[in-house]
Amino acid sequence: MKLRRPEITWEANKVVVCYERNQSVCFDYLSLPLEDLVIPGFDCSEFNQMVNGVRYVPKQFVKNFKCRNDDPPGYQRCRAINLLKVYPNSFNIVCNSFCIIAYRYIHDGMGSIKEIEDLYQRVTNLELSGDFYYRWITSVWTALAHSYVKAGNNEMALDTFNKVHTYDSIKSWPSALVNILGACFVTNQSRDYSVETYTTAIENFKVKSTYSLSEIIVGSRILKVIMGDNSVQVPPLYKEAYSFLKIR
């Protein structure tokens, strides 16, 4: 007899496993089961496999937390929340978690701007560290700015975007280029300033992967739009933010 699969719903702060019309079990993201879930007559392998990806196993824990994936939005939040629990003082990991949580708010309406502001305070209380601190702090500001766009707070959105394109000088992380040029686009920076920003960054980049190259291409597309080429498309989030702040 083939076992039935329960319906799994990853919500904002808990996962619900429904196995009969009126019967279900749920787990808060900070209280996931320590052992495999067993429900007589049901195949819980999918749920157990996903939970295993969030359980703390030192040698593989961080590797399971890829930044870009097609997993359910709530499951991505679950990962981020557990990362924060295990590594509360790691600058890079806290920033990673912040970005995941912020974009789930932006794209899926999960969480709240208050939650994101509180988490941002945690970021600011940590010392900037790690090889890619520049990439992380500009990513955090970009995500925070878009969160304010989502929340309808154009003043804070503009102030936060301004943090991105006025911070220090671009280092050698291509994602920072997208953040900086996107902020220049959203806040209507001059062509000269934007070109200088782009060329300064390019001089420091060492392209070691197709991913790095793709980030540089996205940055160049944003610059083309700033230069007046309307045939090029900027990432939708920046376009939305620009449209919102334009009425300021």
pLDDT tens, residue by residue, 77-93? 998 999 999 999 989 88
| CA separation for the pair 198, 135 (Å, rounded) | 15
- Extract the tokens encoding 159: 């102030």
First CA to last CA distance, the chain: 63
Q: Which residues of 191-222 are buried (b: 16+ CB within 10 A; e: fewer)?
A: eeebeebbeebeeebeeeeeebeebbebbebb
Please state, rounded to an integer, the average pLDDT across all residues of the chain: 89
Find the mean pLDDT for residues 62-68. Answer: 61
Please report which confidence band the pLDDT of residue 1 belongs to, taking 50, 70 and 90 as the band edges: low
pTM across the whole model: 0.89
Residue-level pLDDT at 19: 93
Mean pLDDT of 64-88: 84
CA neighbor of 149 nearest in space, from 105, 180, 96, 118: 105
